[in-house]
């Protein structure tokens, strides 16, 4: 499955190791994740080398071509919020994962779109498990 993994870049990287572990687990299952480099510690350097326009075009095209968008939303981010709206508008299924102790915008938690699911987790293992279960149970039709 082609997964757009969305995570905070400019907004803050305190959950970087969570991003990395989720991405690594999904890659190990054989999924394709064009954004996998954005989970890495070098993400900021690599992104800085690209023009804002190039990043925008690249990311939007990846969203358009993905089977599903999985967003880690523990750390606020304009980019991730934008991508969630864009993906839903493009008819893509979206899973938002956040650590249990983090409050998430009501524009995400209150969104009635049936294509959007929001799940919390207390450990990275639980986040990974919920992502895998989601991919199995919600997306078997793809």
- Residue ranges in contact with its own copies by CB under 8 A: 8-12, 47, 50-57, 59, 73, 75-86, 89, 103-112
Comparison of 68 and 96: residue with beta carbon closer to its own copies: 96
Comparison of 23 and 72: residue with beta carbon closer to its own copies: 72
Report the distance separating Cα 100 and Cα 7, nearest Å.
17
Yes or no: say if 96 and 120 are a contact pair by the CB < 8 Å rule. Answer: no
Comparison of 9 and 68: residue with beta carbon closer to its own copies: 9
Shortest distance, position 40 Cβ to its own copies, whole Å? 17
Yes or no: say if 96 and 30 are a contact pair by the CB < 8 Å rule. Answer: no
Comparison of 30 and 103: residue with beta carbon closer to its own copies: 103
CA nearest 3: which of 119, 22, 126? 22
Comparison of 44 and 142: residue with beta carbon closer to its own copies: 44
Shortest distance, position 74 Cβ to its own copies, whole Å? 10
Shortest distance, position 141 Cβ to its own copies, whole Å? 25
Shortest distance, position 98 Cβ to its own copies, whole Å? 10
Shortest distance, position 29 Cβ to its own copies, whole Å? 27
């Amino acid at each position: 499955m082609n997964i757009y993994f969305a995570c905070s870049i400019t907004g803050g990287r305190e959950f970087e190791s969570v991003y990395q572990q989720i991405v690594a687990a999904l890659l190990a299952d054989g999924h394709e994740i064009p954004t996998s480099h954005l989970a890495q510690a070098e993400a900021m350097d690599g992104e800085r080398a690209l023009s804002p326009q190039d990043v925008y075009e690249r990311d939007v095209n990846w969203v358009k071509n993905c089977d599903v968008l999985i967003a880690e939303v523990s750390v606020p981010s304009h980019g991730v919020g934008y991508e969630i709206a864009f993906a839903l508008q493009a008819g893509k299924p979206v899973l938002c994962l956040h650590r249990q102790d983090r409050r998430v915008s009501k524009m995400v938690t209150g969104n009635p779109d049936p294509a959007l699911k929001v799940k919390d987790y207390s450990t990275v293992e639980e986040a990974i498990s919920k992502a895998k279960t989601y991919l199995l149970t919600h997306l078997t039709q793809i």
